[in-house]
């Protein structure tokens, strides 16, 4: 059978929308954990960095982004938020660039759970633009003191639960401790 005969009369099925709830968030979390573990195993087994390595890094990026957009952004907005700004006037910001998080995971500096729950913030669109227009907006000067980039904005940040965050002292270890993400 040729391709014309094979596709003749094909009707694409409509996929039922997944209802966002605890079960769908759990399924997303389990799937991403399993797929990241598989991608890491494959990546670490490579004898050299090549296109396969690039594709595996891209896959890890996609998995982390998908988890954070579905399970964090849509469930509660972000780990943190700028004080006094409506969610509708904010952008979802990865406080640590996703490529840094992925590389920390690849080099076994953080766990899969930590990578999946790296700090995110709902930052006002105005401050997000301002941050991105600076050198600090495009770099991560200190992964441990990850709020350093935001201090130049003079913003107040709180957790999504409303607890104040001291940008000078709140570290990556504090982030993971606050959100119950275990160390390696």
pLDDT digits (tens, 9 = 90+) for 33-75: 999 999 999 999 999 889 999 999 999 999 999 999 998 988 8
pLDDT digits (tens, 9 = 90+) for 100-116: 999 999 999 999 999 99
For residue 184, pLDDT beyond 80: no
The H or E element containing residue 143 is: none
Is residue 15 a part of any domain in this protein? Answer: no
Is residue 7 a part of any domain in this protein? Answer: no
Question: For residue 137, what pLDDT is reported?
Answer: 58
pLDDT digits (tens, 9 = 90+) for 128-182: 998 888 766 567 788 999 998 888 889 999 999 999 999 999 999 999 999 999 7
Whose CA is closest to 42, among 31, 29, 55, 30? Answer: 55
Is residue 6 a part of any domain in this protein? Answer: no
Query: Residue 98 burial by CB count (10 A; 0-12/13-18/19+): exposed, middle or buried?
Result: middle
Is residue 122 a part of any domain in this protein? Answer: yes
Question: For residue 140, what pLDDT is reported?
Answer: 77
With cut-offs at 50, 70 and 90, classify the pLDDT of residue 125: very high
For residue 183, pLDDT beyond 70: no
* pTM for this prediction: 0.89
Is residue 166 a part of any domain in this protein? Answer: yes
Q: Domain span at residue 142?
A: 21-178
How many whole angstroms separate alpha carbon 117 and alpha carbon 71? 10
Question: For residue 149, what pLDDT is reported?
Answer: 85
Is residue 183 a part of any domain in this protein? Answer: no
With cut-offs at 50, 70 and 90, classify the pLDDT of residue 81: very high
Is residue 16 a part of any domain in this protein? Answer: no
In the chain, how many domains are there? 1
Is residue 141 a part of any domain in this protein? Answer: yes
* Contacts (Cβ under 8 Å, ≥6 apart) of 166: none
Whose CA is closest to 150, among 178, 109, 110, 122? Answer: 122
Question: For residue 32, what pLDDT is reported?
Answer: 97
Question: For residue 38, what pLDDT is reported?
Answer: 98
């Amino acid at each position: 059978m040729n391709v014309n005969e094979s596709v003749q009369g094909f009707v694409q099925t409509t996929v039922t929308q997944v209802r966002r709830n605890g079960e769908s968030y759990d399924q997303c979390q389990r799937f991403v954990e399993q797929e990241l573990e598989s991608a890491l195993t494959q990546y670490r087994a490579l004898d050299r960095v090549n296109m396969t390595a690039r594709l595996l890094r891209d896959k890890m990026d996609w998995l982390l982004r998908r988890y954070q957009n579905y399970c964090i952004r849509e469930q509660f907005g972000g780990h943190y938020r700028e004080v006094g700004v409506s969610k509708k006037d904010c952008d979802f910001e990865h406080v640590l660039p996703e490529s840094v998080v992925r590389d920390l995971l690849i080099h076994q500096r953080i766990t899969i759970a930590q990578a999946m729950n790296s700090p995110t913030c709902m930052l006002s669109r105005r401050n997000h633009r301002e941050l991105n227009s600076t050198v600090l907006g495009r770099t991560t000067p200190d992964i441990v003191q990850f709020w350093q980039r935001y201090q130049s904005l003079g913003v107040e940040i709180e957790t999504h639960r409303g607890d104040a965050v001291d940008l000078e002292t709140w570290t990556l270890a504090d982030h993971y401790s606050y959100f119950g993400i275990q160390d390696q």
